[in-house]
Amino acid sequence: MGSRFDEMRIFSGNGNRALSELICDRLNVPLGDATIVKFSNENIFAKLNESVREKDVFVVQSLSTPNLSDRIMELLILLDACRRASAGRVTAVIPYYAYGRTDKKDQPRVPITARLLADMIQAAGAQQVLTIDLHAGQIQGFFNIPMDELTAMHLLVRYWSEKGWDNVIVVSPDVGFAKRGRNFAEAIGAPLAIAEKRRVQHLASRDNNGNYSSPEIMNLIGDVVGKRCIIVDDEIATGGSILEVVDLLNREGASEVYACCVHPVFAANAVQRLRQSGLRELVTTDTLPLTPEQRWPGLTVLSVSAMLAEVIQRIHSGVSVDTIFSQRHYAALG
């Protein structure tokens, strides 16, 4: 099936330019020429240096740190520039969607920032959105335009499956991730254990301000004695939760502990903490950029560029992306 648009154009913000270049290499198209400048007054300016009139435009931008607010504004400004330049269709490709944890009101008088961000992306001119492994699936419903959420879990599944290990168990770092953890465990043919954190009310004590606080105790549901443990999560931010689980697994008799995640947020001093932890290896993807200082011998990075390139090509050609969700098709993506 041919595209209803003349040509495809792919532009990139500064959120993950290396990934954008890999996608273009896969598609054998040049990366679109755009200028993005941040002035001394912190205003951001963007200009498309080529025509996009009636073109099928894809704007690739990971909402990454540092300078997260700049990355969001770059995305919005590029989308607006494409719309005002009479692009035939504008698709926002967001490998990592920020503010995914603020998907609901979990206390009084707080915003739902994930919804606010969705509203801004639509108002800026995006006609559809492509993203990977949202922290909360309900964010899909925040958009009133087509939204495709892909998963990079197949890359992690294939990586561990190719190890051919025996005596492996998958560990979910909390109860909330248990369903996705179970699916991951089934995909590699391993059992599932769950780390559960709970507050112990009867041990509550007053803090320095006179408020009562309850200590947290982490329990493990499942037997990990003598087993290779693979902790799986959608993202690692500060690394605190993962490292608590690592300590728990070591105390419970695990022989080796590994971890994997889709999004390497690596905020604050996460890299230093992870490097010094008892993890044998941490496997992640390139949905977010990593500097040389954020890499170490125990870190393995898999690329999502092949998956994104194929889906972009399918969207451009008017071909269904439904079949790409099958494990058989995922296995063919290099």
Question: Which positions are catalytic?
Answer: 197
Rounded Cα distance, 167 and 185, in Å: 13
Return the ∠ at Cα 121 (arms to 68 and 234), rounded to 5°: 55
> What is the DSSP track for 72-112?
HHHHHHHHHHHHHTTBSEEEEEESS-TTTT-SS--STT---
Under DSSP, is residue 266 helix (H, G, I), strand (E, B) or coil? coil
Q: How many CB atoms lie within 10 A of CB 94?
A: 25
Rounded Cα distance, 238 and 89, in Å: 37
Q: How many CB atoms lie within 10 A of CB 110?
A: 10
Per DSSP, what are the bridge partners of residue 256?
228
Rounded Cα distance, 185 and 201, in Å: 33
